[in-house]
Structure 1
Amino acid sequence: MTDDADGPTAGPDADTGDTGENDVDTGDTGENDADADLSLDRFHEALEGEERPIATASEVARRLGTTQSAARDALAALVDRGEVDRLDVESDPVVFYPTDWGRLATRERVVAFPNRREIVVDRPTQYTRARLSQFAYLVDTTGTEPGTRGYLYRIRQEDVWAAPFDDADALIASLRSVLPRRYEHLEDWIRDQWRRAHRFRLYTHEDDYVVLQAASESLMGNVADQHLDDDHLRAPISETEAWVNEEAVAEVKRALYDAGYPVEDDRDLETGDPVDIDLTTDLRAYQETWVETFLERRSGVYVGPPGSGKTVAAIATIAAVGGETLILVPSRELAGQWREELLDHSTVDPADIGLYHGGQKEIRPVTIATYQIAGMDRHRSLFDSRKWGLICFDEAHHVSAPVYRRTAELQSKHRLGLSATPVRETGSEEEIYTLIGQPIGADWDALFEAGFVQEPEVEIRYVPWRDELAQNEYASADGRERRRLAAENPAKIEEIRYLLAAHRDKKALVFIEFLDQGEAIADALDVPFISGETPHRDRAELFRRFREEGVGKAEGDGSPAVRDSDDLDTLVVSRVGDEGIDLPNAEVAIVASGLGGSRRQGSQRAGRTMRPAGSALVYVLATRGSGEEEFAQRQMRHLARKGVRVRETNVAE
């Protein structure tokens, strides 16, 4: 369930054995033996500690830190109240067990592993999950049905640094509210991390230059001087302050973050000219929380599944900031889509929106530009010269890629990122949060359970080789060629036909990685194929036709068909469909190839079907006996950790 081989497994059978630590089931409760008042909940805790559904009075006494006599009397009181039953057995005169067995099986259970800073929760309540989300990272989930899942949380230093509390005491109080008892070692570590997060700050001097301030002389000498390059600081001002090279602000923040000291950025940045814009769409409660949290921090990344309304929340943020805004996107299609979203959900004047990419170049109060253009030297000075009140990084995981990284150096008073899944295979999640801000968002599973986003059903279908020649080619190949041959297994076309016929009333996307395969599938199905080679105008028109409602599959052999000249119900798409393209009526996604890609790509493709209403189905085709099996399981495991249901099917020979 987790990549950490030493980590626990969330779920009813989680291993709570000897880890060299004090778990939930051990230790002194701090109660007086003489007046122990045993509640049913505390009896459940004792049973969990014993890892048995029954216990003797001596076992209960040991688990709860009281005397056997006091435990026996307390258990007798529970029996009198009808909450516990007793049974005489030969090996021990009396054992006790809950009258309501079902309650023991379904109640929330919290097990802490303080030395690993991990918390396992079975069947957590909404309260517990909300509390944990404030200071812990959801690593993994198990189970398939809402209300039955187990959750594994890890408390990382960056989670403590970004925790939304006024002081460490408030954070510790929230921690104690969900853990079964106090863990002094864990609390001491959290307090130390909290102090680290408030030891350096950037501020604007009254003479209008940037200053780095350390909390002490030793921090400036032993941390800043050792981790910052000579060109990061212009000159010392005092024993605890230094004049910062403004062009190196991003590098200063990154270097100190890597040293374990996140920098508070209190610079007096301009918001630029005011922008007249109001939101016209009602926000959901969690979106309001996102915006409020962002405005308090002035930076952050909205993290949520497709369909959770990150774009609308971003537009609400633009309206709240009210200053000149730069929106950075990875493609021209997304730039046009952003313009439409702004017009649909706000009162912004169309004349105040500018597009800046390979097709047109306009700077307006709200400018939408591609990462590639904004990072080019010949355009960079233009963007640097603006006093942006807000920079919004859509598909924020792009920021840590070398080709786009320069855009993260653009400075603004507010920095907002949007991403369904900010993880990159290089493990540079921390870099994203350093360059933009800390994560803000509800966990995916909470949105599924609340009904805000339709939870997709993901099925990995292992397709056999049915073409002996293709199988022999695969066996004799190696490296990238071997992966390509597995991806282009001819039997996948037949399987795609079968799936489309089974869902002939639904809109479907077929994802591919290799262009030859995309063209072959599109020809076989007689549907359009969209790739990076498709002209932008043609792409936009095909996406528009796909968004049209009221279409279906043709009868007969199950092949998809176009009902009339303006409607499409199936598209084959390459990587251009992975990110951000809004196709809200896509109900089925078939991943025919691309299983050598990243976990993020797997989330993006599954995410194309995550919408507020309607069914959501994702089929991942993997050639049986090839490396695709492992790739499929790795990608989908990432989705399972977010609460998405995943099942596996072997397609018949």
Structure 2
Amino acid sequence: MNPANPLIVQADRSVFLEAFNPLAEQARAALAPFAELVSSPEHLHTYRVTPLSLWNAASTGLGPEEMVAALTQYAKFPLPANVETDIRELAGRWGRLTLEQFDNGLLLITTESDGALLTELSRHKAVAPLLGDRLSERVFAVPPAHRGVLKQALIEVGWPVDDRAGYAEGDAFAVALAPSLDVRDYQREAAEAFYQAGSERGGSGVVVLAPGAGKTVVGITAMSLVGQRTLVLTTNRTSVNQWRREILQKTQLSPDDVREYAPGKDLAPVTLCTYQMLTHRKRGSQSSDEGAYPHMALIGASEWGLIIYDEVHLLPAPVFRLTAEVQARRRLGLTATLIREDGREGDVFALIGPKRYDQPWKTLEAAGWIAEADCAEVRLRLPPEERLSYATAPDRDKHRIAAENPAKRRVLAQLLRQHAGQPTLIIGQYLDQLELMGQDTEAPVITGKTPQAERERLFQAFREGRLKTLILSKVGNFALDLPDAEVLVQVSGAFGSRQEEAQRLGRLLRPKADGRGAHFYTLVTRETSEEDFAHHRQLFLAEQGYSYRILDEEKVG
């Protein structure tokens, strides 16, 4: 027993961290690789050790003994016996099942000599239809078409598979990096951790890096390592344009080598496509209809050697289904957070691959690779007349009433005066609210209906400093290359979305030329559901080491 230590480990695998303890940061760094943050009030943060958090850690080479040792080193009290056992047994499941190539088929192999595990799994109703003949006590044949769905099914029943079956080679296409490109050490490490030259485990998985840390460079470096035709899937056309611009700047490829997907046109060696295009469904068709998604054939239409999934935590369900069919292609997922609000993190693990590389945001900040950010939550009251409307509204309407609090327009004006002359982004959920703020500030409002050419014109004006303020709907959550933004004011958001909170802060994290920090403000209505949602939104960033100052509206400006 060591009362000076900061961790309290519970028998239900929850872990409490004393945030005020002098050893808190060391303990957090040791705990975060294999535990998930649940909540982070001021003094006591709660983590939970889950099967998926253990398997992700195990897939990176972190062993059960190291996990137990980390808890033991920082725990106040002896570890509950069941926690030690659970960690060893759950993390120890990784590697006990492997998928391997044999002739033109696949083998599901267990390391156990008696084959009892395979017998049990083969009788599970979700697994049995996906297996072929049993070849021995330790081996089942697996039809290649079932490679992805079998991994999904096994994750669901609590048994991850280490996929060592390798990949079909795509058409060769050399990608030479531009001589002027200075790939940072961590970017190269991330690309190499994914590729793992000569390793049967390499070629699939997810790289997790903060927005602004250069995930695009990781993808480009991976393209150069693979040296084959590449398909890049991303969130929107702004992101497509950004990827194309970055690839042409940072490689020696020509414009003809890198093109956006267009139906009926020839595919380029590096083809870019949005998830929206890929999942476009024929009018009147059902998702189960054959041919319902006419552009889905894109993934199988060329001998891709690499498929890059940008913002992989946003992967739509239809793309999951298709990805299950292309497990023989190398797959790289890029993201700032593995959090999915639909709870399908297990599908990312099974179908894209385990986490191959991760760097804490604060580590990158300390090294100067991303900007230092000051986060503040500004709390303000509803006007009396709105308070009555809120009190009598149905629960489903309460969030919007709180989010559209008219007092936010006054506080926004004060923040803009306080940061006059600094490049500022204003992001919100509700278009009527944003239009009013656009009238107040005389700043342009970009929504999903803004034509792509107009978006690009406004973004370029912001980059060049000719435009100091932009107002964005949720189209501003992702893939915006606006490196000089110094202030972001979040006036409303999508309920308790942790991933949205992280991505919005990420709009500010590109390092500034003069080393200046960034300011992230969230406007929250007091004594409403918006307070609860704001707390939940901040959980992921709290795990990364960010804390929010709480400001009263009277203190602003």
8 Å Cα contact 2:381-2:526 kept in structure 1: yes
**Cα 1:114–1:499, aligned 2, differ >3 Å: closer, same or farther?**
closer
Counterpart in the other structure of 2:286: none
Displacement of 1:546 in angstroms is: 1.3
1:624 to 511, 526, 543: 526
**Which ranges in structure 1 are unaligned for 5 or more consecutive residues?**
1-23, 26-47, 50-108, 144-148, 550-566
1:113 is matched with which residue? 9
- Deviation per residue, 1:591-610 (Å, 9 max, x gap): 11225251111121122112
> Partner residue of 1:348?
253
Distance 2:61 2:507 in 1: 40
Q: Deviations over 1:53-82 (max 9, x none)?
A: xxxxxxxxxxxxxxxxxxxxxxxxxxxxxx
Which stretch of the first structure deviates more once superposed, 179-188 or 602-611?
A: 179-188
How many percent of aligned residue pairs carry the same amino acid? 32
Q: In the alignment, which residue of structure 2 is the partner of 1:158?
A: 52
Counterpart of 2:550 in structure 1 is: 648
Tell me if structure 2 keeps the 8 A contact 1:355–1:362.
no
**Maintained 8 Å contact 2:233/2:273:** yes
- Asked which structure has the greater RCO (Cα within 8 Å, sep 6+), the reply is 2
Q: Distance in 2 between matches of 1:397 and 1:431?
A: 10
Which residue matches 2:163?
A: 265
Residue 425 (structure 1) shift: 2.3
- The answer to which of 469-478 and 612-621 deviates more is 469-478
- CA shift at 1:136, angstroms? 4.8
**Distance in 2 separating the partners of 1:150 and 1:475:** 32
Superposed displacement of residue 205, structure 1: 2.0
Q: 8 Å contact 1:278–1:319 — kept in the other structure?
A: yes
- Structure 1's 438 and 518: CA in aligned 2 closer, same or farther, altered over 3 A? same
Asked if residue 460 in structure 1 is aligned to residue 377 in structure 2, the reply is yes
Count residues with an aligned counterpart.
Answer: 522
Deviations 1:453-485 (A, max 9, x none): 22321211122334x544444444324443323
SS in 2 for 1:460: strand
Asked if the contact 1:486/1:628 (under 8 Å) is kept, the reply is yes
CA RMSD of aligned residues (A): 3.1
Which amino acid letter does the alignment assign opposite residue 635 of structure 1? Answer: R
Contact 2:187 2:218 in 1 (8 A): yes
- Once residues 287 and 343 of structure 1 are traced to their aligned partners in structure 2, the CA distance between those partners, rounded to angstroms, is 18
Looking at structure 1, the residues matched to 369 and 531 of structure 2 have their Cα atoms a distance apart, in angstroms, of 32
Instruction: Please identify, of 180-189 and 331-340, the stretch whose mean Cα deviation from structure 2 is larger.
Output: 180-189
Q: Which residue pairs with 1:307 in the alignment?
A: 212
Determine the C-alpha separation between the residues in 1 that align with 2:407 and 2:379: 11
CA distance, structure 1, for counterparts of residue 83 and residue 138 of structure 2: 30
Report how far residue 331 of structure 1 moved: 0.9
Q: Secondary structure at the match of 1:432?
A: helix
Match of 1:96 in 2: none
Over 3 Å counting, the alpha-carbon distance change for 1:443 and 1:228 in structure 2 is same
Q: Determine helix, strand or coil for the equivalent of 1:243.
A: strand
Q: What residue is the counterpart of 1:482 in the other structure?
A: 398
Query: How far 1:124 sits from its partner (Å)?
Result: 4.6
Report if aligned partners of 1:354, 1:368 keep a CA contact under 8 Å in 2. yes
Is the Cα contact below 8 Å between 1:142 and 1:640 reproduced in 2? Answer: no
Q: Is the CA contact (8 Å cut-off) linking 2:59 and 2:354 kept in structure 1?
A: no
Looking at structure 1, the residues matched to 525 and 25 of structure 2 have their Cα atoms a distance apart, in angstroms, of: 40
* Contact 2:39-2:45 within 8 A present in 1 as well: yes
Task: Return the match for 1:285 from 177, 180, 185.
Answer: 185
Aligned to 1:81: none
Asked whether the equivalents of residues 55 and 91 of structure 2 are also in contact (C-alpha less than 8 Å), the reply is yes
Distance of aligned partners of 1:589 and 1:124 in 2 relative to their CA distance in 1, 3 Å threshold: same
Whether contact under 8 Å (1:163, 1:171) holds in the other structure is: no
Give the 3 Å change call, closer, same or farther, for CA 499–204 of structure 1 in structure 2: same
- In structure 2, which of residues 264, 267, 276 is the aligned counterpart of residue 372 of structure 1? 276
The 3 A distance-change label for structure 1 pair 274 and 110 is: farther
Deviations 1:214-245 (A, max 9, x none): 33532222113315355423444444433323
Distance in 1, matches of 2:519 and 2:302, equals 44
1:180 aligns to what?
Answer: 73
Question: Does the Cα contact within 8 Å between 1:140 and 1:642 map onto a contact in 2?
Answer: no
| 8 Å CA contact retained: 2:308, 2:334 | yes
Matched position secondary structure for 1:226:
coil
- One-letter code aligned to 1:542: L
> Structure 1 490/195 Cα, relative in aligned 2: closer, same or farther at 3 Å?
closer
Structure 1 counterpart of 2:130: 232
Tell me what 2:284 maps to: none
- Compared with structure 1, are the counterparts of its residues 227 and 202 closer, same or farther at alpha carbon in structure 2 (3 Å cutoff)? farther
Establish whether residue 405 from structure 1 lines up as the match of residue 317 from structure 2: no
Q: Which amino acid aligns with 1:218?
A: A
For residues 21-60 of structure 1, the C-alpha deviation after alignment (integer angstroms, 9 at most, x for no partner) is xxx43xxxxxxxxxxxxxxxxxxxxxx46xxxxxxxxxxx
AA matched with 1:180? Q
What corresponds to 1:223 in structure 2? 121
Aligned AA for 1:266? R
Tell me the CA shift for residue 293 of structure 1.
Answer: 2.1
Q: Does the Cα contact within 8 Å between 2:95 and 2:162 map onto a contact in 1?
A: yes
Q: Which amino acid aligns with 2:548?
A: V
CA distance in 2 between counterparts of 1:142 and 1:289 reads: 34
Contact 2:126-2:153 at 8 Å conserved across structures: yes
> Which residue of the partner structure matches residue 418 of structure 1?
334
Normalised by the length of structure 1, the TM-score is 0.72
> How far off its partner does 1:507 sit?
0.8
- SS of alignment partner, residue 434 of structure 1: helix
> Aligned partners of 1:419, 1:330: CA distance in 2, in Å?
12
The CA deviation string for residues 63-122 of structure 1, in whole angstroms up to 9 with x for no partner, is xxxxxxxxxxxxxxxxxxxxxxxxxxxxxxxxxxxxxxxxxxxxxx46462745547484
Q: What amino acid is aligned across from residue 438 of structure 1 in structure 2?
A: P
Q: In the alignment, is the contact (CA less than 8 A) between 2:278 and 2:295 conserved in 1? A: yes
Counterpart-to-counterpart distance in 2, 1:119 and 1:289: 32
The corresponding residue for 2:89 is 192
Change (3 A) 1:329 1:111: same
1:600 matched residue in structure 2: 499
- Could you say which residue in structure 2 is the equivalent of 1:542? 458
Q: Give, as a single letter, the amino acid of the residue that structure 1 aligns with 2:518.
A: A
Residue of 479, 483, 489 corresponding to 1:584:
483
Query: Post-superposition shift, 1:128?
Result: 6.8
- Aligned residue type for 1:215: T
Identify if the C-alpha distance between structure 1 residues 477 and 139 changes in structure 2 by more than 3 Å, giving closer, same or farther: closer
Which residue of 58, 75, 100 maps to 1:203? 100
Given that 1:415 and 1:437 are in contact with CA atoms closer than 8 Å, whether structure 2 keeps it comes out as yes
The alpha carbon displacement at 1:335 in A equals 0.9
How far apart are residue 290 of structure 1 and its match? 1.9
- Cα deviation, 1:428-473, whole Å, max 9, x if unaligned, reads 223322221222211222222333222321211122334x544444
Offset at 1:127?
7.7
Whether the 8 Å contact between 2:309 and 2:334 is mirrored in structure 1 is yes
Mapped to 2, the partners of 1:341 and 1:259 lie a distance apart of 41
Distance, in Å, in 1 between the alignment partners of 2:164 and 2:269 is: 24
Q: Which amino acid aligns with 1:259?
A: V
Secondary structure in 2 matching 1:652: helix
Find the counterpart in structure 2 of residue 241 from structure 1: 139
Check whether the contact 1:272–1:324 (CA below 8 A) recurs between aligned residues: yes
Unaligned runs of 5+ in 2: 197-201, 281-292
Equivalent pair of 2:425/2:488 in contact (CA under 8 Å): yes
Which residue identity is paired with 1:415?
A: R
> In the alignment, which of 203, 208, 213 is matched to residue 298 of structure 1?
203
**Cα distance, 1:319 vs. partner?**
1.2
Is the Cα–Cα contact under 8 Å of residues 332 and 357 in structure 1 kept in the other structure? no
Amino acid at match of 1:402: A
Paired residue for 1:383? 299
CA distance in 2, matches of 1:119, 1:622: 27
Alignment of 1:499-518 (within 5 A): 499-518=415-434
Q: Pick from 506, 531, 536 the counterpart of residue 634 of structure 1.
A: 536
| Separation of aligned partners in 2, 1:126 and 1:627 | 31
Kindly provide the amino acid, as one letter, of the partner of residue 383 in structure 1: I
Query: 1:515 Cα deviation (Å)?
Result: 1.4
In structure 2, the partner of 1:521 is 437
